[in-house]
Each structure stands twice: as C-alpha cells, then as structure tokens.
Amino acid sequence: MNAPNLKQTPTAIRDALERALDGQRITIADCRSLFDCDDLALLGTVANRISLRKHPESYRTYNIDRNINYTNVCTAVCDFCAFYRGPKDPEGYVLSREEMYAKIEETIQLGGEQILLQGGLHPHFKLEWYEEMLSDLRAKFPTVNLHAFSPPEIHHFTKVNKLSLRDVLARLQQAGLGSLPGGGAEILVDRVRQEITRGKVLSDDWLNVMRVWHELGGRGSATMMFGHVETLDERVEHLHRLRELQDETGGFTAFICWTFQPEHTQLAHLPKASAFQYLKTLAISRIFLDNFDNLQSSWVTQGLKMGQLSLVFGANDMGSLMIEENVVAEAGTVHFLSLDQIRDSISELGFEPRQRNVHYRLVDKQRELAAVEAHRRWMRGREGQSTELVGLER
C-alpha cells in the first residue's frame, strides 16, 4: 500500500499521523487535532495501515452469539435508552430459566458459543440470584461462554448487597462469569454522564469495575457511544482513559464504538450522527488506541456498506451476528444482516471470513462451516416472518 501524501496537511495533523505511521504513540493533543481533520480518506488510510500492521493475517473475523436481556427493569434513568422500564412499569419483565434455556439451545444449534447476558439495574435481586443463574447456565451449557453483566450492573450489585467490588466479581467469576462486556460506558466523563443519566455508575467506578475484573484474571471489551451531548474534547478524554487502563491491566480484548440512536428516546431532538462522523471516530480510535489489538465494526447502527467500510477504516472484526438483540432495536435501529452477508462483506474486501470466540481465537473450520449451513436452514425457516436478528456487541 502506498504511503499517504501528507504534504498539504496542516502541521499538527501531519506530525500526529507521521508519528502514528512510524509506530509511535500519539498524545491527547494529537488526538484532538485529528478530530479537526476533515480529510476522511487520509484518516482512513492511516488507520487501515495501522490495522494491517497489527493484523497482517489473510482473514477478518466475526462472532456468533445472542443477547439475552434477562430483565428490562431498571432503577436508573437514561435519557438515551428506549429499552428500560421502571420497577413499577407493567411492561417490566424477568425471563424464566426455561425461556433462557430455550434461547441458549437455539444459539448453540446455530453455531454460537457465547451468550451476552445483560439486564437493567433491578432493585430487588440479591447477588445469590445472579450466582444461581450463572451456575445453572454453566452446568447446563458448559461450553458456552457467559459474557455477562456490564460495569453499571456490577456496580449496582455492590450497592444492593453492600459488598466490595472484588468480592462481587470473585463470586460471580466462581459461579461462571466468563467475560465482562463493556456496556454502559457511553462517554467516560462525569459531566456527560450526569447530564444524560441518573442513578448510574460514574466514570471512575466504571473504570474500576474493569480494573478489578482484569486483576482477577478476567477479560472484556471496551465501548464508546458517541454523538449526543459530548464535546470532541470529551470524546478524546474517553479514549484516553481507556488507553490508560489498558496500559495498566492489558485486560481489554477489543474496542467498539457506535453512534447514539436518538429515536424513541428522551434525546430524540438531537441530530443523528452521520456515517462520516462514525468512520472518522473509528479511524481516530484505531490511530490513538495503540494498545488495543482489536476494533469492531458497528454495522447495526451504520448498515451493511458502512459496516463493511469499517474494515478499511481501522476495524479488523465485523462484530457479532446476534440471534437476538433488544436494546438498540427499541430505539428504532433495524439494520439486519444474515451470516452470509457478513461473510460476503469480508470476502469482497479480499479477506477470508473466519468465526472467532470472545478471546479472538478462531473457531474450528469444520464447526464454522457447519454454523453457516445451520444458519441458512434457520433463515429459510423464517422466510415471511419478521426478523429479530440484528447484532451488537458490548
């Protein structure tokens, strides 16, 4: 690939990009200057070169899992969320164990080996309730990774049970918690969090949940939902805090960013962030987060073509084909991709599509191809039905 032409680029932006291309770490000020650059092709080219340097392999990856929202009852009030219901809302629910079993069994039949298990901040359940749920699922489905409980949920558990963070995480890990999703990060700046949420974990505590989990040997993802009330400086601060924690622990497997979906939320008056802003932020994230091995595409908020384009703007993974997802869907996002479409979008860029697990290890090729055939049969059986199959990893 030819080196990008930086001769006509403003000095601060040129210096930052040259350092990044040389494999050097860029600064917070460098990162902020990149947000002033509107040469999207240039940012994408640099991000892609860095991604190819980190991932010279001939394949790009995806995952198959399912998001089981075990409850939508939540004591927090998030202006950006269309999914939650208050504790007294008649639309609140808690899934039975039998419903969860059926969902997991179907996921396994379709080649999935992970469950993304998340709910609201339920006011009444004690830690033993969550331990029992994990233990039951691990006993019944020992090969399935339980990617469960975002940092806001974990922090909530400490408050309800009056237990230390380390005790809560250690007990959940013993019960079967396999990895920790990075949901609920939004923007890790307290001004932003206090403006758009009430009764939810603030920045330091979100980061500390991840820190302690990593200290216990756990792994998990990091996220950013942008394009609402944050400034560009605050977007940079979010990225910087993640990079600092990754320097400290090395426990993050991947970074995923996506644009806020305002429909059906209390922030519906805000303009929706553009695909340009998504690709720009993704590319800058790849340039700045030099200690993150993996970046995911967010096709669920951007659609097929932008999701595919992400793979040349810094992402090396198409994210998850989820057999079920409810949170983003409640906000009106309805992008749908079949497994064949995800695989074809990778192949069209000249890469081999490969299924991976939560630790970014490749799934056995025979199992991968069996999953493709199982998914095709499942899709044929659903012809004429409204689909729930959308994807998002947190």
Banded model confidence at residue 390, pLDDT cuts 50, 70, 90: very low
- The pLDDT value recorded for residue 215 is 98
| Residue-level pLDDT at 1 | 53
**Could you read off the pLDDT of 46-96 as tens digits, one per residue?**
999 999 999 999 999 999 999 899 998 888 778 777 777 888 888 889 999
Among 196, 209, 224, 91, CA closest to 158: 209
Sign of CA dihedral 272, 277, 283, 286: negative
User: What CA–CA distances, in Å, run from 23 to 46, 47, 53, 129?
Assistant: 11, 12, 9, 47
Rounded CA separation 302/24 (Å)? 31
- Look up the CATH number of the domain holding residue 109: 3.20.20.70
Confidence check: pLDDT of 389 > 50: no
The residues, any chain, with a CB within 8 Å of residue 119's CB and separated by 6 or more, are 69, 70, 71, 72, 73, 74, 153
Kindly indicate the confidence band of residue 184, based on its pLDDT and cuts at 50, 70 and 90.
very high
**Would 23 be classed as within a structural domain?**
no
Per-residue pLDDT, 2: 63
**For the segment 5-45, what is each residue's pLDDT rounded down to a tens digit?**
787 789 999 999 999 999 999 999 999 999 999 999 999 99
Residue 332 has pLDDT above 50, yes or no: no
- Cβ-contact 107, 130 below 8 angstroms: no
The whole-number pLDDT of residue 304 equals 92
List, for residues 355-376, the tens digit of each pLDDT value.
999 999 999 999 999 999 999 9
Least confident of 125-139, 261-275, 280-294, 306-320: 261-275
For residue 393, pLDDT over 50 is answered with no
- The reply to whether 249 falls in a domain is yes
**What per-residue confidence (pLDDT) applies to 329?**
47
Q: Using a pLDDT cut of 90, give the percent of the chain over it.
A: 76
The confidence score (pLDDT) of residue 220 equals 96
pLDDT score of 334 more than 60: no
Domain count, the chain: 1
> What is the rounded average pLDDT of the residues 148-167?
96
pLDDT of the residue at 384? 56
5 lies in some domain: no
- Residue 50 inside a domain? The answer is no
Q: Is residue 334 in a domain? A: yes
CB–CB of 243/286 below 8 Å?
no
Q: State the pLDDT at residue 385.
A: 54
State the pLDDT confidence band at 394, using cuts at 50, 70 and 90: very low
pLDDT greater than 50 at residue 185: yes
Count of Cβ atoms closer than 10 Å to residue 102 Cβ: 12
Nearest to 220 by CA among 246, 258, 240, 257: 246
Confidence of residue 167 (pLDDT cuts 50, 70, 90): very high
Q: How far is CA 194 from CA 87, 189, 199, 203, 264, in A?
A: 21, 9, 9, 10, 20
Residue with more model confidence, 81 or 378:
378
Q: Taking 90 as the threshold, does the pLDDT of residue 352 lie above it?
A: yes
Q: Which domain holds residue 367?
A: 58-381
Contacts 24+ apart (CB under 8 A), 358-365: 358/63, 358/114, 358/145, 358/147, 358/178, 358/179, 358/219, 358/253, 359/179, 359/219, 359/253, 360/61, 360/253, 360/254, 360/293, 360/294, 360/317, 362/59, 362/61, 363/113
Distance between CA atoms of residues 114 and 267, nearest Å: 32
Q: Cβ distance 43 to 309 under 8 Å?
A: no
Q: What CA–CA distance (Å, rounded) separates 241 from 238?
A: 5
Q: What is the pLDDT of residues 209-255, one digit of tens each?
A: 999 999 999 999 999 999 999 999 999 999 999 999 999 999 999 99
The pLDDT value recorded for residue 279 is: 98
Query: Does some domain include residue 40?
Result: no
What is the per-residue pLDDT for 165?
Answer: 98
pLDDT at 391: 39
Q: What are the E-state strand segments in 96-160?
A: 114-118, 145-148
Note the pTM of the prediction, 2 decimals. Answer: 0.92
What is the C-alpha separation between 60 and 349, in angstroms, rounded? 10
392: confidence class by pLDDT, cuts 50, 70, 90: very low
Coil, helix or strand at residue 166: helix
17 falls within a domain = no
pLDDT category of residue 323 using cuts at 50, 70 and 90: confident
Whether 306 is in a domain gets the answer: yes
Residue-averaged pLDDT of the chain: 91
